[in-house]
Chain A
Amino acid sequence: MNAGSIEIWRQGLWDNNPGLVQLLGLCPLLAVTGTAVNGLGLGLATLFVLVISNLAVSAMRGIISPEIRIPVFVLVIATLVTVVDLVMQAWFSSLSRTLGIFIPLIVTNCTILGRAEAFASRRPVGDALIDGLAQGTGFAAVLVVLGAAREIVGHGTLMADAHLLLGDWARALEIKFLPQQTGLLLAVLPPGAFIGLGLMVAARNRMIRSRAVRAEASAHTDPQTA
């Protein structure tokens, strides 16, 4: 992997994470992260749509004039989401039942339009593919972490109902931390989503600041030791 693609990965996963830094796609992000499995499901579906839409937009970038780019992006994204929805209903019907309401939500996810506009429409297909993977993975990671945190606090379980997404073997993934019905209800309700995401953004900011402080400190001390 060359330096350029590593930089794209770093942007998607950390420096410019769609969920924590760009704060894009908050509507589906806050709505579905009641459990880790729901988060994972929407994360995977979003990742898939993001990769394909980045590829399509990048491949068409030569023939699309600036005036019509937004309608074209919207058309491409809506078409892709509908295709994903139909294919899932036909071949992954149990998955489609659990994720059914989230799939149309992907159309409203501005991360996808944002990446098409800011990245895919200006870069070659290869870069756009990596960007789709990186941004999608970054978004999915935020969804899973937030979903897991809310599930642990609110339900006292982790990865409950994983079999709906991953098949029967995944029943074994469920971990119970608390006896039934002892969780903190607030975490599962909508306010819990806002509080949880706020804490995640704050934690990220804190890590970056303490790293900056350390870097500054070592920059000051270095000349003396040298």
Chain B
Amino acid sequence: MLKTLLTLGLIGLLAAALLSGVHLATRDRIASEQQRQALATLNQLVPESEYDNALVEDWFNAWISGLSAPSTIYRARMDGEPVALLADVITPDGYSGDIRLLVGLTPQGEVIGVRVLEHRETPGLGDQIELKRSDWIRQFDGKSLAQPPAQSWAADRRGGAFDTLSSATITSSAVIEAVGNVLAWYAANRENAFEIRTESKDSSTSETRDGNNP
């Protein structure tokens, strides 16, 4: 009996030792890979040549109404001047739960572009929000809260100004309203959005959110 227990304990120890070894050996590489991936995501909307700050590290958390909190806001600057603001946000209103979006804004509050980072929408219907499946997501490019006006930030099937994907009204509305919410938040925080101090990396919750999502 004692021998059995010892065997089990020994195998458990071996497994623990193996895992800690592998963890130590891969930790730094995983962190740098995650950093690289986060940057590649942001570069989809703001090309590397247009900013010169450490984009991935220049961020803060924001609480935007209508979206899952907290959202992560990245800021691109060139020679210290604001170039773009990139909001990594999650809307809980998708047809099958959360949709994670990256919304890029100019300092003037105009949409540079929107990209879908993660979603579980219906294949063949709701997944048309992905850029690789249709150009639907490009309809936001160049839009702002003035053009169209704030009350028109809704799907056309619900009386708004934006195209609705057929058979995916809920998905479409979730994305359209999420972008509208980001714009409304920026309109209210325009003065200080580029001034807020960057949050320290150690207390970062968004870092893990960025990295651990498959």
Contact = CB atoms under 8 A, between A and B. Distances in A.
Contacts of A200: none
B7 A188 contact: no
Contact of B124 (A63, A96, A181): A181
Overall SS of chain A's interface = helix
A188 B15 contact: no
A173 interface: no
Contacts of A3: none
A90 B19 contact: no
Nearest to B32: A90
Given A79-B15, A89-B30, A154 B7 contact: no
A83 B124 contact: no
A114 interface: no
A100 B30 CA distance: 13
A155 interface: yes
B29 A91 contact: yes
B123 A90 contact: no
B30 A86 contact: yes
Please report whether the interface of chain B is mostly helix, strand, loop or mixed according to DSSP: helix
Contact of A154 (B4, B12, B30, B123): B123
B214 A100 contact: yes
B7 A65 contact: yes
Contact of A93 (B12, B15, B37): B37
Given A91-B29, A154-B124, A189-B123, A76 B7 contact: no
B166 to A, nearest CB: 10
B146 interface: no
A101 B120 CA distance: 13
A195 interface: no
Given A101-B214, A154-B123, A185-B124, A86 B22 contact: yes
Given A91-B29, A188-B124, A96 B8 contact: no
Interface in A167-185: 180-181, 183, 185
A75 interface: yes
A72 B214 contact: no
Given A97-B37, A97-B214, A63 B7 contact: yes
A68 B7 contact: yes
Interface residues of A, number: 35
A83 B4 contact: no
B116 to A, nearest CB: 15
Task: Name the interface size band of chain B.
Answer: 20 to 34
B30 A90 contact: yes
A188 B123 contact: yes
Given A183-B124, A189-B123, A82 B19 contact: yes
Interface string B8-22: 100110010011001
Contacts of B189: none
A87 B3 CA distance: 34
Interface in A147-181: 154-155, 180-181
B124 A87 contact: no
A212 interface: no
A71 B33 contact: no
Nearest to B7: A63
Interface in B20-38: 22-23, 25-26, 29-30, 33-34, 36-37
Return the 7 tightest CB-CB contacts between A and B, nearest first: A100-B214, A90-B26, A90-B29, A93-B33, A79-B15, A188-B123, A185-B124
20 contacts: A60-B11, A65-B4, A68-B7, A71-B8, A76-B11, A76-B15, A79-B15, A83-B18, A83-B19, A86-B22, A86-B30, A90-B29, A90-B30, A93-B33, A93-B37, A154-B123, A154-B124, A155-B124, A185-B122, A185-B124
Given A65-B4, A79-B19, A82-B19, 17 more contacts: A65-B3, A68-B8, A75-B15, A79-B18, A82-B22, A86-B23, A89-B26, A90-B29, A93-B33, A93-B37, A97-B37, A154-B123, A154-B124, A155-B123, A180-B133, A188-B123, A189-B123
